[in-house]
Amino acid sequence: MRRADAVRHILGERLASQPRTDSKAEVFAPANIALCKYWGKRDTELNLPATSSLSVSLPDRGSHIVLSLHAGESDAIRLNDAPVSSASSFYRRFTEYLDLFRTPSGWRVNAEIRSSVPVGAGLASSASGFASIVIALDQWLDWRLTREELSILARLGSGSACRSLWNGFVEWEAGSRPDGMDSHGVPLSDNWPGFCIGLMIFTERTKPISSREAMQRTVQTSRLYRDWPDTVERDLCFIKKAIHEKNFHLLGKTAESNAMAMHATLRDAEPSINYDLPETLAAMEQVRQFRETTGTDLYFTQDAGPNLKLLFMEQDLQQVARYFPGMQTVRAFPTSGV
């Protein structure tokens, strides 16, 4: 119910907007990788975070969506060219989110979604997914909202989605208002040409426990989690300093230790949560060895899944790619701008 209040607060009279029968919206939203993680909520319904977080977007990896009016009684969704069953949790999550913006007998959609990251495998597919839906709705229903307002609406679908409204570095400011109107993404103006992210995908299987559930269990049961807000405060400060000064060593080191601190709270939860596969641990060890033997600034980060993201600068790309042949490289700032 409070999600509906938040939507009403932002949309006001625009909640009554209807799509034109012939209209279609086609948009893309990038996935984002947190360098300082969002882990733990102060409000589970509104996805309000316990702390701020900071990410970098993957400009050519994410969700592409085409929305148009569906004449039937229920939404028709296709994901990567295959129909999505109405019994699936993906379908339910998607349609329940749309329900926030329509009356029970209101419009229905045809949604064609293409995800260029595996869905539900800890690769930020839900972040780009909800961001793409909200940008598409804004066009389709002619809301004309600001990016900040869209960021708030995207957060109601999935917390990290509020950072997928922009390319480049984005800070999600936790805010303090109970209604969450001050909790949204804020893009940083800094560009960092040469900043690379290497996707190490060991499995495309859906994770056994969702980030929502894992987060809750950690907050409720992990004693280590009590230190998390202090860890984030320190790490955010280092990461912002590193970005402003283009100090890749400081950035990589802090991002890696932030991810490890998050996973330590997961291990400390009751029952304990472990997202690692043997391949995950082996790759982490390879990163450490590579760093020690070559002196290269190569780091990793890990979200709620077994896949890793490597962080390095373009000047080291050839060397890193030779060592990690399965890696897929994404340039965070492909041209000079965002």
d(Cα 301, Cα 221) in Å, to the nearest integer?
Answer: 24
Which pairs from 263-267 meet CB under 8 Å and 24+ separation?
A: 263/302, 264/224, 265/39, 265/218, 265/222, 265/224, 265/225, 265/228, 266/214, 266/218, 266/222
Residues 136, 197, 304, 320: which binds ligand PMV (CB under 6 A)? 304
Phi and psi dihedrals of 112, rounded to 5?
-110, 110
Instruction: Tell the smallest beta-carbon distance from residue 130 to ligand PMV (Å).
Output: 8
Residue with smaller CB distance to ligand PMV, 38 or 195: 38
DSSP 307-338: -EEEEEEGGGHHHHHHH-TT-EEEESSSSS--
Please identify, among the stretches 2-10, 34-42, 176-184, 239-247, the one whose residues bind ligand PMV according to the rule CB under 6 A.
34-42
Question: Does 14 participate in binding ligand PMV (rule CB under 6 A)?
Answer: no
Task: Give the SS3 label for residue 25.
Answer: strand
Number of residues that bind ligand PMV (CB under 6 A): 13
Residues 10, 27, 34, 136: which binds ligand PMV (CB under 6 A)? 34
Decide: 291 and 298 in contact? Cβ < 8 Å. yes
Residues 38, 101, 166, 324: which binds ligand PMV (CB under 6 A)? 38
Residues 190-219: x where in contact with ligand PMV by CB under 6 A, - otherwise, as a string: ---------------------xx-------
Instruction: Tell the smallest beta-carbon distance from residue 38 to ligand PMV (Å).
Output: 3
Instruction: Tell the smallest beta-carbon distance from residue 158 to ligand PMV (Å).
Output: 4
Say which residue the tokens 């641990």 belong to: 281
Question: Does 231 participate in binding ligand PMV (rule CB under 6 A)?
Answer: no
Q: Note the residue count of the chain.
A: 338
Question: Does 265 participate in binding ligand PMV (rule CB under 6 A)?
Answer: no
d(Cα 236, Cα 34) in Å, to the nearest integer?
Answer: 11
Question: Does 184 participate in binding ligand PMV (rule CB under 6 A)?
Answer: no
Residues 40, 59, 62, 159: which binds ligand PMV (CB under 6 A)? 159
d(Cα 77, Cα 166) in Å, to the nearest integer?
Answer: 25
Show the 3-state SS of 149-167. Answer: HHHHHHHHHCHHHHHCCCC
Applying the rule CB under 6 A, the residues between 48 and 87 that interact with ligand PMV are 53
Residues 121-150: x where in contact with ligand PMV by CB under 6 A, - otherwise, as a string: -----xx-----------------------
State the residues that interact with ligand PMV by CB under 6 A: 34, 37-38, 53, 126-127, 158-160, 211-212, 303-304
